[in-house]
Amino acid sequence: QSVLTQPPSVSGAPGQRVTISCTGSNSNIGAGHYVHWYQQVPGTAPKLLIYSNTRRPSGVPDRFSGSKSGTSASLAITGLQAEDEADYYCHSYDNELSGGAFGGGTKLTVL
């Protein structure tokens, strides 16, 4: 069981908007720790997509955005493209674990 909970899968048609939720608790997201998001194409290493809740690394399209509220966070992808098909993971620090905690991952399918 992951400390951070994500839906196993989401899907959307090209051009549509999808969101991926990440639900935590008062020992991680709710404690004020930042939430980060990674994109992983199967067979490759994860890639940082969003850091510190809302910030995008250089090179990440502004179609990707992050938000945080209370004990949850969300990743939104607008203008869905075929190349966005991948696994997405949220990540935060957890006080009880004294370390990092990942969500279980969400598989995005572009229909």
Partner 1 sequence: EVQLVESGGGLVQPGGSLRLSCAASGFSFDKYEMNWVRQAPGKGLEWVAYINSGGSAIHYAQSVRGRFTISRDNAKNSLFLEMNSLRAEDTAVYYCARDGGNWYFDFWGQGTLVSVSS
Q: Interface residues with partner 1 (CB under 8 A)?
A: 2, 33-34, 36, 38, 40, 45-48, 51-52, 57, 87, 89, 91-93, 97-105
Among residues 3, 66, 2, the alpha carbon closest in space to that of 34 is found at 66
Which residue has 């720790």 as its token pair? Answer: 33
Q: Residue 86: name the closest of 54, 56, 57, 64 by CA.
A: 64
Q: How far is the CB of 97 from partner 1 (least distance, A)?
A: 7
Rounded to the nearest whole angstrom, what is the least distance from the CB of residue 44 to partner 1 in the complex? 8
Structure-block tokens of residue 104:
């279980």
Question: From the CB of 15, what's the least distance to partner 1, in Å?
Answer: 28
